[in-house]
Amino acid sequence: MKVRYVQNLFFQCLLAVLLVGSFAIPFTAQAVVLLGKVTVTSVTETSAVVAWESSVPGDSWVGYRPEAGGPQLSVASLTSKTQHSLTLKGLAPGTTYVYEVNTATIYNDGGYIAGLKFTTKSALGTVIPAQPTGTLAQDGGTIYFLMAKDKIKVPFTSMAAFTGLGYNLKNVKKLNLSSYALAGSYVLSSATQEHPWGSWLKWKDGTLYYSGVDGLIGVPSMEVFTANGGKPEMIVPLNAADDAVWAKNPKLPVLQVGDSRVL
C-alpha cells in the first residue's frame, strides 16, 4: 500500500510540473497579420496622416517616395497596437506619392500593403518660380504659353493651333497658374497666327530669331541664345505671319547677352 501511495504521489507531482511548465512557455505559433481599412487624411501641401488596422497588435511602419522617383523615406512607431496612425511630414506640394504600410508583431510575424498612392495639395496662390518666358504649361484642360515677366498666360484655343505653330506636347508642364494673369484678348486661335512675344523662332535657312515687343530680333549665336534663357525645346518654326512682323521692322539690333528686350 505504501509503494502504491508513493507512486501516485510521484505521478501527481510530475503532472503538476508539466502543467505549470506548459503555461510558463510563451506561445510562439506563427500568427497571420491581416491589414485593412487604409486611409489617408489631413492632407496638406507638406503633410498627410496614414492610418490602417491590423488583425493582431504590432508596430507601425510607412515607407513612401515621390511617384516620379527619388529615395524612399519612412516613418515608424514601435508601440504595439491594432489601430495604426502615422504622420508624414516634409512632403512636396502638388506631388503624388507611392507608399506602403507594414505591421510586425513581437514574434516577427508581419503583414503589409504596397502600391498605394496619394497626392498632396497644390500651393495655391504662390508665385511659380523660375519659369522663363516661353514655358508651355497645362492647367486644367488648357495649354498656355507663359510670359514670366508680365505674368501673362496666353491660351491655345485648339490642339490644331498648338501643333500647327510647331509646339510639342512632350514639352508641356503641368502647373498651377493661379498666380499668372490672364492674357486678355490675345489668344492663339490659328496655326497661321504669329507666335507670341517671347518665342524663339527658326527660319527655313536656320537663322534664329527672338520675338520681341518691337518685332523679330536676330540671334547671332547659340551662346547668346542660352545666355538669355533660351532652351532647345522652345525653338519652333518661324511662319509667314512672323515674317510679316519682321518685315515691318527688319533693322532691329541683334540680341546681346542679358538683353533687356527679353521678356
Residue 17, pLDDT score: 38
Closest C-alpha among 213, 216, 171, 164 to residue 193: 164
Phi, psi for 238 (deg, rounded to 5)? -75, 130
What's the pLDDT tens digit per position in 140-168? 889 999 987 778 899 999 999 999 999 99
Average model confidence (pLDDT) across the chain: 84
Adjacent-strand bridge partners of 150: none
Architecture of domain 35-119: Sandwich (2.60)
Closest C-alpha among 182, 191, 193, 225 to residue 206: 225
Q: Any idea where the domains of the chain sit in the sequence?
A: 35-119, 136-248
- Asked whether the predicted pLDDT for residue 183 surpasses 90, the reply is no
CB 107 within 8 A of CB 237: no
- Asked whether the predicted pLDDT for residue 87 surpasses 60, the reply is yes
CB 108 within 8 A of CB 30: no
The pTM assigned to this predicted structure is 0.52
Residue 124, pLDDT score: 60
What's the pLDDT tens digit per position in 115-143? 999 999 876 655 556 578 899 999 888 99
Who has greater pLDDT, 68 or 199?
199
